[in-house]
């Protein structure tokens, strides 16, 4: 079995991504929540919701997750 280094929830609005992320965050020690809405508010405030801007947002989320993984923190991402 391979070691899991993170989890990424994605889907439509209102499907329980944040709810599931919060539940896992309570259960998994050394984890961090990386929520797309919060990242958009504080990091990606320069982006809109065009297809290109959404791709940039996903790339930024991935980068934040990689930083967490490289720091031995389990990222729980919700977009």
Backbone phi and psi for residue 36, each to the nearest 5 degrees, phi listed first:
-60, -35
Please write the tens of the pLDDT for every residue from 40-78: 999 999 999 999 999 999 999 999 999 999 999 999 999
Radius of gyration of the chain (CA): 13
> Cα torsion at 13, 15, 26, 55 (round to 10°)?
-40
Q: Which residue has the higher pLDDT, 3 or 43?
A: 43
Structure token pair of residue 45: 């405030």
The Cα 71–Cα 2 span in angstroms is 19
């Amino acid at each position: 079995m391979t070691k899991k280094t993170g989890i990424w929830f994605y889907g439509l609005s209102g499907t329980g991504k944040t709810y599931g992320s919060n539940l896992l965050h309570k259960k998994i020690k050394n984890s961090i929540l990386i929520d797309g809405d919060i990242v958009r508010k504080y990091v990606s405030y320069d982006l809109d919701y065009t297809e290109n801007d959404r791709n940039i947002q996903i790339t930024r989320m991935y980068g934040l997750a990689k930083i967490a993984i490289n720091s031995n923190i389990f990222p729980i991402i919700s977009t």
